[in-house]
Amino acid sequence: MYHRKNSEIIRLTMERLMTNIEFVQPIGVTQEASTLNFNFSNAWSIYIGNSILLSKKMQEQTFKQFIHLKNKWKDEVSFLSDSSKIESNKAYKEIISFGPIAVPWIIHELKKRNDHWFYALEKITGVNPIKATNRGKVQEMKMDWIEWAKLNNYL
């Protein structure tokens, strides 16, 4: 049963992939010499999108990497007070590079403790929901982000 289910997933995935193949004939080359141009990033997205098992596994791996980077970042900046040094830390930048997938994880961390996540959230989302009256007040800033996350379906 398990083998049959996997082969069905592979068959459906290949059918979807084949619909995204473009045939391109280079300029000055005969039809017989035409080449096959395959959009790999699109194909990969389709493959991952069609595979619940793969997308879940990738999300789990990304979450594990997030936890590792978060712990590394905290270890490396725990005694720093300069926000530019905290924000320029390599592990912190890698977390930002995860993009929107990291937002719920960051919000969850922010709910647990007052860490310096505001810059990362703003970089990832492109918004800053912190009210002008709350700037500099960490607890209120945190609540503004949590409220924003709820309104935007991240929680």
What range does the domain containing 102 cover?
Answer: 58-155
Closest CA to 115 of 73, 67, 63: 73
Distance of alpha carbon 81 from the chain centroid? 28
Q: Does the model's pTM come out above 0.85?
A: no
* pLDDT one digit per residue (tens) for the chain, 155 residues: 444 444 555 555 555 545 544 445 555 545 554 444 444 445 555 555 555 555 677 778 889 999 999 999 999 999 988 989 999 999 999 999 999 989 999 999 999 998 899 999 999 999 999 999 999 999 999 999 999 999 998 88
Helix/strand/coil for 36 = strand
Same domain, 82 and 137: yes
Beta strands in the chain (DSSP E): 21-24, 35-38
How many structural domains compose the chain?
A: 2
Residue with tokens 């592979």: 10
Same domain, 72 and 100: yes
Same domain, 63 and 41: no
